[in-house]
Amino acid sequence: MPNIYKFNIGSDFVLKAVTGIEDFMESSEASSIRIALSGGSSPIAVYEKLAASQKIDWSRIEIYQVDERSDHSNEEMIREALIAKLSDLKAFHPFDKNYEKKIQALPRPFFHLVLLGLGEDGHTASIFPHSSAVEEIEALTLKTESPTGVKERITLSFPAILSSEKIIFLIRGAGKKEILSRWLSDEGSEMEIPAKVILDHPDVDVYYDYSQS
Ligand code: 6PG
């Protein structure tokens, strides 16, 4: 079971999530730390606060993307909230046509840390309920379709995401209470709630802010 941290004050959520990420990075002995970042709205304030962290040595850090929309809005958000504010980042690897090969060439586990979100329908990354992407076991990246919002997506597959030392979920919104409890219960299948696949990973932390609507 993941470690669950719940907050009813937004600033506490941001502070604790940032501290958790800083602690992980500080304790890592890797010379190059590879982290994969999700899009969506929940992580924005965390990325902004991370950009101001005095504890992170960004020259050791390589940032990858978990998923992207056809309008490139995830890359845009990650650049604006975090990357544009860093002067010494080792590298940023946005989704491009060589992304699958780039991931394939990484040592395993591919990532040291993956940051994920949770949708009200149980999706995570851009892997949506009742789609073949939930069961993908070979490809590292996949084209998928979102039932809502920007339709065309590209995403790391579950095998790529699970190849990470640690996984942290950043989840905000009172409206996600129900899916959060269904996700963590024995109820429902992986096809219905794709984020359940991540529960197979041994080191998952969940930060949940239920203060906002
Ligand atoms: C995306 C994502 C997606 C997101 C969830 C939660 O690009 O949409 O990476 O998996 O994390 O949909 O989104 P919110 O944080 O906006 O609720």
Tokens of 24: 């992980």
CATH number at residue 99: 3.40.50.1360
- Name the pairing type of β-strands 141-145 and 152-156: antiparallel
Does 155 sit in the ligand 1 pocket, CB within 6 Å? no
Phi/psi at 186 (nearest 5 deg)? -80, -5
144 CA distance to ligand 1 centroid (A)? 14
pTM of the model: 0.98
115 CA distance to ligand 1 centroid (A)? 11
Which domain range does residue 41 map to? 3-209
In order along its 213 residues, the chain shows pLDDT tens digits of 899 999 999 999 999 999 999 999 999 999 999 999 999 999 999 999 999 999 999 999 999 999 999 999 999 999 999 999 999 999 999 999 999 999 999 999 999 999 999 999 999 999 999 999 999 999 999 999 999 999 999 999 999 999 999 999 999 999 999 999 999 999 999 999 999 999 999 999 999 999 987
Domain count, the chain: 1
210 CA distance to ligand 1 centroid (A)? 16
Phi/psi at 22 (nearest 5 deg)? -60, -45
69 CA distance to ligand 1 centroid (A)? 10
Tokens of 123: 């999706």
Tell which atom from ligand 1 comes closest to the C-alpha of 68.
Answer: 7
Tell me which residue has tokens 């579950």.
Answer: 158
Contact between 82 and 51 under an 8 Å Cβ cutoff? The reply is yes
Contact between 15 and 45 under an 8 Å Cβ cutoff? The reply is no
Does 21 sit in the ligand 1 pocket, CB within 6 Å? no
The per-residue pLDDT for 213 is: 72
